[in-house]
Chain A
Amino acid sequence: MSRYLRFLVPLAIFAVIAAFLFKGLDENYNPRAIPSPLIGKQVPEFSLPLLEQPDTQITNKDLLGKVYLLNVWATWCVSCRAEHETLVQLGRMNKVDIYGLNWKDERVAAQAWLRQLGNPYTANIFDKKGRTAIDLGVYGAPETFLVDAQGIIHYKHAGPVNPDLIRDKILPMVAELKKKG
């Protein structure tokens, strides 16, 4: 019997992989239905050092009072490089503050990256251990959250942002949230 079972192994492996693929698909199946469990909730509490100034701590309370984008990035993340130009352009428009969550990264490398590629961020939160990213439910870098003045998350985009998304989705939402105050 084991002679026959042996040849079922590849099929079994494939079945497991297919199950994971299906699960992955399922979650993305209707991305707008439940984009993130955190939509409509507060940005989780954190107190972390700034990337630029290791001695200065920043907390979620410091960010209250304005509409901002929270962009999760890292130097080891290839897609982050792809979206960085777009963020730099967005930064130049001066329409919304962008805060960076530098995720599981090396401080020196991250600072060099910003010097080299341009710095669109108002400030960068240095999340070396990745705890805050876990609290935010980050699936993989890059991810971008839109947060209002009360610190409530209104929108989340997984993957690199592109100029179309910013023009058609993010900036209109920013304008609306700013109007509400």
Chain B
Amino acid sequence: MIPEIGHYALILALSLAIIQAIIPLAGSYTNTHSWMALSRPLVWGQLLFLTLSTVVLANAFLANDFSVIYVAQHGNTKLPDLYKISAVWGAHEGSLLLWAFLLAAWSAAIALFSRNMPLPVVARVLSVMGMISIGFLLFLLLTSNPFDRTFPVPFEGRELNPMLQDPGLAIHPPLLYMGYVGFSVAFAFSIAALLGGKLDASWARWSRPWTTVAWVFLTVGIALGSWWAYYELGWGGWWFWDPVENASLMPWLVGTALMHSLAVTEKRGAFKSWTVLLALFAFSLSLLGTFLVRSGVLTSVHSFAADPERGVFILIFLLIAIGGSLMLYAWRAPYISGGGRFDLISRETFLLGNNLLLSVLAGLILLGTLAPLIYDAMEWGKISVGFPWFNKMFVLLTPFLALLIGVGSISRWKHTDAAFLVKQLRVAFVISLAFGLLTLLPLFSDGNLMVGLGMGLAMWVVLSHVVNVKERLKHKSGFNGFMRDLSGGGRSYYGMILAHIGVAMFIVGVTMVSNYGIETDIRMSPGDTADIAGYEFKFEGVSEFPGPNYNAHRGRFLISKDGEQIAILQPEKRTYFVQTRPMTEAGIDWGLTRDLYVSLGESLGNGDWSLRLYYKPYIRWIWIASIFMGLGGLLAISDRRYRTARKRSSSTSTLTAGSSTPAAAESHS
């Protein structure tokens, strides 16, 4: 009986979503206050029912209710409770339910934090959120109902994919989805603005914190996935250019461009139609990602629930959502007013460069990801675009981004003197160049240009931002001035600095691990030692060891440096009882400047094993970088101007587009 309540709640949520998509929107045109005011309660109702649904499904897992097909497929009595919960989003149906739930949560957050926004705008935004919700709820109910029953009831469940039985992966999908779904807010704001014909500075200011929050979630979500792949898949890489990874990177790149473009639109009123387009694309790419994962159009290690029938549904959904919004764009965008003028050397120009580079990168990834599909459809033959192509494209374009980051963030709006830039940045430039050249010396890299480029650019990003902060604090008295700045309106500025320092750390991590990482595959007998990068790995053998729902082979390694023991590593190879796929758990001794990584390969008999021993310098910096970026984003949205926006909402300049409605200027109480 209880699962049917979850199913019923889904249907109720869908009914509310339909009303939410129509009534408030209609009210915004007829200026019917009560219709518009309905949007908030409807959103809360949807959140209530979808929470109920999610809780019911989680309860079915905890109670081992194998009469529910989804639970029978992914649950098990022996599964630890944490993974019973994470099994809710461990496969197709449940992860869609999570999508819908998070969408309702974001909608509720808009309802809650939109008191300073005119009611017609709120009504339109929430109506658009309702439309997206309809799509996902229909998808759930028509093709992927997680509450379907089965008879006869199985005695035991097939258990969650062992690959997903890991704390990191338990929270990776919710974070990632928070990011994907979060971009729906910027999307909804843009659609609402296009509908209302009012693309102005306040539209950009409302969109900014939402976009930043979504971006923070996506950043941390992607990093967590990368980290998980590193320690769980056992081959020591951190990014594989898998179609599903690409599907998360594309919205991230476009979302990053969007954040920067929104800054220009808010401050200078420029790039409006471009900003709208980015907002549409960021969410469209999130939807496309869902399509690629779920439809089985591309083969990927992630596509655990490929089903062409579902693919047809998502494709129709994509056509309506993306096609419809781009049609609206083509119709309304020609009437968007131009916005502030700017000179060739100005922050606007540099941010435009940043936007173009990020968009081109996203476009190239899209092309590479879809290449097998395109080649096949055009009958050009077969192709599989792999690692080398993506890497080449990135190495070709990202250095320009790193160069721009330093110049752009110190430039002024509208006009910057070239002489000012040269004066500010010449020392930083010379030091970075010298540092890059220094790393080419035989002592360090012996002429490896990639190392020189990477280290030089990282130094450049850091130094140009040091100069930037120094310039900002020039007229503020020392440390106290800094603290006052930080508690006042400077947080978005320092957030930017923090995130950009994260970029520098990322460059360092990638450069070091790609050029100095050591990977050895060897055969060892108990008692053998191997020497890697000055570390001695002593293999003490492998013993068997029972886990809650698996059997493990656990290896034991003593790691020492200069005769002194520094760590004991215990990599595992697990065989799960239900799904007999073997899983590796790498043994890692982590450090800020290097990881030592051991993973068990195959048993070769007589206690011998084939083993993978890795030395990974600075690899942590890649993930720490994403934490910096995330913290930077959080710092930025805590800026005073978002907190006090309520008081000022009426006083901002409105650079309205052609057909603004007077209703939009109403009710900012």
Q: Which residues of A contact B (CB under 8 A)?
A: 3-4, 6-8, 10-11, 14-15, 17-25, 27-31, 76-79, 81-82, 85-86, 88-89, 112, 115-118, 133-134, 137-142, 158-160, 162-163
Give the A-B pair count, Cβ closer than 8 A: 131
Q: Is B323 an interface residue (CB 8 A)?
A: yes
* Chain B positions 263 through 291: 1 when the CB is less than 8 Å from some CB of chain A, otherwise 0: 00000000001000100110010000001
Q: How far is the CA of A87 from the CA of B393 in the complex (A)?
A: 33
Closest to B229 in A: A78
**Which of A28, A79, A117 touches B311 (beta carbons < 8 Å)?**
A28
Contact between B387 and A76, CB atoms less than 8 A apart: yes
B interface size (C-beta, 8 A): 56
Contact between B330 and A11, CB atoms less than 8 A apart: yes
Main secondary structure of the interface of A (DSSP, over half): helix
Q: Knowing A7-B329, A17-B370, A116-B521, say if A28 contacts B297 (CB, 8 Å).
A: yes
Contact between A25 and B308, CB atoms less than 8 A apart: yes
Question: Which are the 10 A-B pairs with shortest beta-carbon distances?
Answer: A159-B299, A116-B521, A11-B326, A23-B377, A24-B297, A7-B333, A24-B373, A140-B384, A76-B386, A82-B301
Cβ contacts A to B, 15 pairs, < 8 Å: A11-B326, A11-B330, A14-B326, A18-B323, A19-B377, A29-B308, A31-B308, A115-B521, A116-B521, A116-B610, A116-B612, A117-B602, A139-B372, A139-B376, A163-B579
In the complex, what residues of B have CB within 8 A of residue A18's CB? 315, 318-319, 322-323
Q: How far is the CA of A40 from the CA of B444 in the complex (A)?
A: 59
B299, B366, B387, B521: residue with the most chain A Cβ atoms closer than 10 Å:
B299
Q: How far is the CA of A112 from the CA of B280 in the complex (A)?
A: 46
Closest to B245 in A: A78
Q: Which residues of B contact A (CB under 8 A)?
A: 233, 235, 240-242, 273, 277, 280-281, 284, 291, 295-301, 303, 308, 311-312, 315, 318-319, 322-323, 326-327, 329-330, 333-334, 366, 370, 372-374, 376-377, 381-384, 386-388, 521, 579-582, 601-602, 610, 612
Q: How far is the CA of A110 from the CA of B580 in the complex (A)?
A: 26
Q: How far is the CA of A112 from the CA of B522 in the complex (A)?
A: 10
How far apart are B272's CB and chain A's nearest CB, in angstroms?
12
In the complex, what residues of A have CB within 8 A of residue B297's CB? 21, 24-25, 28
In the complex, what residues of B have CB within 8 A of residue A133's CB? 382
Contact between A22 and B315, CB atoms less than 8 A apart: yes
Q: How far is the CA of A19 from the CA of B233 in the complex (A)?
A: 35
Q: How far is the CA of A129 from the CA of B615 in the complex (A)?
A: 33
How far apart are B624's CB and chain A's nearest CB, in angstroms?
25
In the complex, what residues of A have CB within 8 A of residue B521's CB? 112, 115-116
Contact between B277 and A10, CB atoms less than 8 A apart: yes
Q: Knowing A76-B387, A117-B602, A163-B580, say if A25 contacts B381 (CB, 8 Å).
A: no
**Which of A10, A21, A89, A158 touches B291 (beta carbons < 8 Å)?**
A21
Q: How far is the CA of A159 from the CA of B295 in the complex (A)?
A: 13
**Which of B377, B384, B612 touches A24 (beta carbons < 8 Å)?**
B377
Contact between B370 and A20, CB atoms less than 8 A apart: yes
How far apart are A119's CB and chain B's nearest CB, in angstroms?
9
How far apart are B247's CB and chain A's nearest CB, in angstroms?
13
Contact between A21 and B373, CB atoms less than 8 A apart: yes
Contact between B334 and A118, CB atoms less than 8 A apart: no
10 new A-B contacts, CB < 8 A, other than A85-B581, A140-B382, are A7-B329, A7-B330, A11-B323, A11-B329, A17-B366, A76-B388, A78-B240, A81-B235, A140-B372, A141-B384
How far apart are A106's CB and chain B's nearest CB, in angstroms?
11
How far apart are A164's CB and chain B's nearest CB, in angstroms?
8
Q: Knowing A11-B326, A116-B601, say if A24 contacts B376 (CB, 8 Å).
A: yes
**Which of B277, B330, B377, B384 touches A77 (beta carbons < 8 Å)?**
B384
Contact between A160 and B601, CB atoms less than 8 A apart: no
Q: How far is the CA of A162 from the CA of B579 in the complex (A)?
A: 10
Contact between A138 and B382, CB atoms less than 8 A apart: yes
How far apart are A165's CB and chain B's nearest CB, in angstroms?
12
Contact between A118 and B235, CB atoms less than 8 A apart: no
Q: How far is the CA of A142 from the CA of B372 in the complex (A)?
A: 13
Q: How far is the CA of A134 from the CA of B384 in the complex (A)?
A: 12
Q: How far is the CA of A137 from the CA of B382 in the complex (A)?
A: 8
Contact between A25 and B301, CB atoms less than 8 A apart: no
In the complex, what residues of B have CB within 8 A of residue A11's CB? 323, 326-327, 329-330
In the complex, what residues of B have CB within 8 A of residue A17's CB? 366, 370
Contact between B329 and A118, CB atoms less than 8 A apart: no
Closest to A139 in B: B382
Q: How far is the CA of A156 from the CA of B374 in the complex (A)?
A: 21
Q: How far is the CA of A81 from the CA of B299 in the complex (A)?
A: 13
In the complex, what residues of B have CB within 8 A of residue A116's CB? 521, 601, 610, 612
Closest to B612 in A: A116
**Which of A25, A118, A137, A158 touches B601 (beta carbons < 8 Å)?**
A118
Contact between A115 and B610, CB atoms less than 8 A apart: yes
How far apart are B226's CB and chain A's nearest CB, in angstroms?
13
In the complex, what residues of A have CB within 8 A of residue B299's CB? 79, 140, 142, 158-160
Closest to A81 in B: B235
Closest to A19 in B: B377
How far apart are B207's CB and chain A's nearest CB, in angstroms?
19
Closest to B521 in A: A116
Contact between B334 and A3, CB atoms less than 8 A apart: yes
In the complex, what residues of A have CB within 8 A of residue B579's CB? 163
Contact between A25 and B295, CB atoms less than 8 A apart: yes
Contact between B323 and A27, CB atoms less than 8 A apart: no
Contact between B240 and A20, CB atoms less than 8 A apart: no
A81, A140, A159: residue with the most chain B Cβ atoms closer than 10 Å:
A140
**Which of B296, B300, B580 touches A79 (beta carbons < 8 Å)?**
B300
